[in-house]
Amino acid sequence: MPDQKYSSRPPRWAVKLLERTCPPRDREEVQGDLLELYGYWAELYGEGVARRKYVLNVLGLLPSFARKNRYSLSPKPLHTDMLRNYFTVAVRNLLRRKTYTAINVGGLALGMTTTVLLLLWVQDELSFDRFHRNGEHIYLVVREIDVSGNQVTYGYAPGPVAVAARQQVPGVVQAVRTIENTEVGVLAYGDKTFTGEQCGYVDPAFFTLFNFPVVKGNDKNPFPTRQSIVITQSVAARYFGAAEPLGKNVLVNGKDYYTVTGVINDIPANSDLRFDVFFPFEILHKTRWKSPDEDWGNSGFKTYLRLQPGTSPQAVGQRLTAINRANLPDAVMASKITTKLQPLHQVHLYHPDGTEAGMQMVRIFGIVAVVVLLIACVNYVNLSTAQATQRAREVGIRKVVGAGRGQVFGQFIGESALVFTLAFLLACLLIRLLLPMYNELSGKQLTLSVENTQLFVSLGVTLLVTLLVAGVYPALLLSSFQPLHVLKGKLVAGRGGSSFRKLLVTGQFTASVVLIVSTLIIGRQLEYMREKELGYQKENVFTFWMRGDMGKHYESIRSELQAQPGITGVTASNSNMLDLRNDTGDTDWDGKDPERMFSVYTANVESDFLPFFNLQLLSGQGFKGAQGDSAQFILNETAVRRAGITNPVGKRFKLWRTEGIIIGVVRDFHFKSMHQAIEPMVFYRHKGWRGKLYIKTTGRDAARAIAATEKLWKRYSPAHPFQYSFLDDEYDKYYKAEQRTGVLFRYFAGIAIFISCLGLYGLATYTAQKRTREISIRKILGASVSVIVVLLSREFIKPVVIALAVAVPLAWYAAGEWLSNFAYSIDMEWWVFGLAGALSLMVVLFSVSFQSIKAALANPADSLRSA
């Protein structure tokens, strides 16, 4: 062929491909040949055709198609033929047994979905306040107080602790105090008003100690004056839209203007330091009767310290304890207080004393995640080993033809991997669909983002581990068959195999029963907390904090409201009945042991407060005379007991600087969360501020009563929007987190049980199929349907009964541990366990009997004839 001049070039990628793939020995000549042909084609047919032909030829020359590798034993280095065969066989098997495939894939997908959702929850809980730059060096100051031999730890400290830490304790880089600003009711900008913002007072170093950089404004000096505020970006967007927030004046409570001097990024959802609007801490120097820099007696501040790396938190704690003792006026009290530091990342999940708070639920959910996945794996193992006999011939033939055990093992591991991959894909889909609902249920904002590498790594590990756990055993079993035996049909279907399956079913149901019992107990405890008699009537009472001038006109408001037909009572106090916060150690009484630490919650109330709430007096009488008569105290039972006062009525009692006598003892009632035991408390009357108004209605007339109240609100406090809440709603809110976990737990336990039943259903189907002929012959010989159903169900009842026996003590122990967290908890009653047992037996019978009855009802002639 004559040499052709070539003007165009073949496609570059094809040239590269050839270069890359052609064996080096032939590369030069092949490249040359093709180039020559290309020139020839280009001349003959044109460039387009030539390029196409060139590409076709390059593809034709790919090494696996052209020269065979003379060094490899197999014609294809990756044994692709064999792989294809494995794949075909696997797909055929999956398609042939659609029920089992559905159970396996569906169960595993459900299990994986549950696990991922639970892990997301766990991960979110564990991530709280872990994103701060110097997070490992930040600590919360907590104080352990010895109350008559009991150690109680609070996460609050007096104001001067931060000042002392900054100035006198080596190793403390920064110290910041925060406290909620509850006085703010309404913020206004222009004609827009906003309520419900989380407001707080913070020291200026707040934004640098934590990772909340000031994106607009000066982070060295975020509050240039006392009239400054710092806001988050979303607040800025809501108030000012796209306009520049810095320098804008916001009206607070309709009285004072504050200038926005800083904007920070929104505080992430996984932080407990959630404020929207920050006020300078300095304001408190002015508004409190004693500056928080000097007042050692009042401890309401969350105090955070950043330590120099390498500083021992214990040493800092000891130093602070000493400083506290040197400064506290009451030496006895001071000696009972120990200051400690709690690492910031523990604050969310642990109590200040280091015991588990939310951590317990995190752990429980983590365990449930693993258990649910294991249950799904058990299904897979059971169904694939049960069906192993059906694959025995295949294994035999493969081995006879030359497959080694390793290859057969690989084949079955591969099949498991296929099923798991299918399940995984389905799970991904499910998670996508369920995530919004799950977020609503859990009250979180979880996302499955690509950046969440930690989760994906743990997912991958989960997948691998489950594959190992669930895939290895069946593969080992299947690859162990002896070809001679299976081909002669002498395979002993494995007594050992079937008892192993029973063992797994037992384990599975043990987990299920424990979950059922836990669900019941958690549900009952939550219900108990919601319904428990608090010791007073909280029904049909609505309440609000009085704003504007309402407090000044309390008497007229009260008489006007009481004139309303639907309203049966009006009273007020200085505190929230559901959550008393003011406590003091500044008390005295006749015969007080000076060594005794006595702390008491206080409530300043109207004279009619006790009858209003139906609080019962055990002895003595209620408040008498005018509100101004502050010399009367009513103690609760616990206070009397803790103080050690006998025959308290008429005894002298001193609260702060007010001397008086104890006029009555009230029966204990709950004024704190149900987690806490009832503490000592005292009712007193004082002229001081009583801003919390309580209005009781007949229930039917609640709407009218609220309308009437709103009218009064508008008259005395027009600047504020009317806000109220019903006491029982508010009470429920305290337990919202628990209710949520309760509901979540119920769902997950339900899923776990469902997956277990899926597995049993599969096994029952398999047994019924395997014994079709036996059943037919029994029927022909005269067995009744019920006999056969019992026969088929019996083998499943036994493992479940054993599971019950194992599960009950386990559940007893676990539930006991959980309940011990509550100061007031239900007793564990036997019927809970009975119910759980009956429930699990019922679902087992249901899932098994469906197949048994079907098998028992079938016409024996059909199965025998077809045989």
Residues that bind another protein (CB under 8 A): 1, 3-6, 26, 28-37, 39-40, 56-57, 60-61, 65-67, 70
Find the shortest distance in angstroms from Cβ 98 to another protein. 44
Find the shortest distance in angstroms from Cβ 381 to another protein. 48
What the block records as the tokens of 646 is: 């006998």
In what helix (H) or strand (E) does residue 306 lie, and over which residues does it extend? strand 302-307
Neighbours of 74 (CB within 10 A): 11
C-alpha distances (whole Å) from 263 to each of 177, 198, 247, 266, 568 are: 19, 15, 11, 9, 48
Mapped onto helix, strand or coil, the DSSP state of residue 387 is coil
Nearer to another protein, 60 or 628 (CB): 60
User: How far is the C-alpha of 201 from the C-alpha of 728, rounded, in Å?
Assistant: 30
Nearer to another protein, 7 or 866 (CB): 7
Find the shortest distance in angstroms from Cβ 82 to another protein. 23
Nearer to another protein, 75 or 644 (CB): 75
**Angle 178-184-185 from CA coordinates, rounded to 5°:** 145
Nearer to another protein, 37 or 476 (CB): 37
List own/partner pairs for 741-744 with CB under 8 A and 24 or more apart.
741/361, 741/522, 742/522, 742/523, 742/526, 743/441, 744/121, 744/365, 744/441, 744/442
Find the shortest distance in angstroms from Cβ 73 to another protein. 16
Find the shortest distance in angstroms from Cβ 44 to another protein. 12
**Residue 802 half-sphere exposure, CB side, CA atoms within 13 Å?**
12
**Residue 629 half-sphere exposure, CB side, CA atoms within 13 Å?**
11
User: How far is the C-alpha of 301 from the C-alpha of 325, rounded, in Å?
Assistant: 18
Nearer to another protein, 44 or 787 (CB): 44
Amino acid type, 712: L
Find the shortest distance in angstroms from Cβ 58 to another protein. 9
Nearer to another protein, 53 or 319 (CB): 53
Nearer to another protein, 37 or 814 (CB): 37
Nearer to another protein, 28 or 180 (CB): 28
Nearer to another protein, 27 or 652 (CB): 27
Find the shortest distance in angstroms from Cβ 37 to another protein. 6
Find the shortest distance in angstroms from Cβ 84 to another protein. 22
* CB of 252 closer than 8 Å to CB of 258: yes
| Conformation bin of residue 625: beta by default, left when phi > 0, alpha when psi is -120 to 50 | left
N residues, the chain = 867
Rounded to the nearest 5°, which phi and psi values hold at 64? -65, -20
* CB of 174 closer than 8 Å to CB of 313: no
Contacts for 105 with CB less than 8 Å, ≥ 6 apart: 419, 422, 423, 426
Find the shortest distance in angstroms from Cβ 90 to another protein. 33
User: How far is the C-alpha of 451 from the C-alpha of 456, rounded, in Å?
Assistant: 9
Find the shortest distance in angstroms from Cβ 402 to another protein. 21
- Taking every pair of C-alpha atoms in the chain, what is the biggest distance, in angstroms? 129
Nearer to another protein, 39 or 204 (CB): 39
Find the shortest distance in angstroms from Cβ 76 to another protein. 15
Nearer to another protein, 33 or 588 (CB): 33
What the block records as the tokens of 126 is: 């564990």
